[in-house]
């Protein structure tokens, strides 16, 4: 899995870059079909924001975005939101599998 951490409008410290990459890597625990995760950190006039975009195999992208005044908290909250989306996606795909008639079971007439 590829992890790309970038910053908009400001350079970020290696500590923040490593924290964001570690949080992104942690998401593999919940869903193993992640091809890549892009993390975009931003500092605006009113605080910080973090955006995580997960590119899933055989599916679309999942996006989580959070804004706040503490960069560490913003990264943590964004990771939690993307984690919830991944778990919901995994649950939906598992429930789709196996629907329909069983071809090995005889039908009643």
What pLDDT, on the 0 to 100 scale, is given for residue 98? Answer: 58
What pLDDT, on the 0 to 100 scale, is given for residue 55? Answer: 95
The pTM of this model reads 0.81
Q: Please tell me the CATH code under which domain 2-94 is placed.
A: 3.30.160.100
pLDDT tens string 60-98: 899 999 999 999 999 999 999 999 999 999 998 887 655
pLDDT tens string 20-60: 999 999 999 988 889 999 999 998 888 999 999 999 998 88
Under a CB-based contact definition with an 8 Å cutoff, are residues 55 and 61 in contact?
yes
How many angstroms separate the Cα of 38 from the Cα of each of 3, 65, 108? 6, 12, 52
């Amino acid at each position: 899995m590829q992890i790309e951490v970038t910053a908009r409008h400001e350079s970020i410290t290696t500590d923040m870059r490593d924290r964001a990459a570690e949080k992104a890597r942690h998401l593999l625990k919940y869903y193993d079909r992640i091809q890549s995760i892009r993390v975009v950190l931003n500092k605006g006039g009113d605080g910080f924001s973090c955006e995580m975009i997960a590119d899933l195999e055989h599916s679309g992208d999942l996006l989580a975005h959070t804004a706040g005044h503490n960069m560490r908290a913003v990264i943590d909250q964004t990771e939690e939101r993307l984690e919830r989306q991944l778990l919901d996606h995994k649950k939906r795909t598992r429930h789709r599998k196996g629907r329909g008639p069983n071809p090995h079971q005889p039908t009643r007439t």
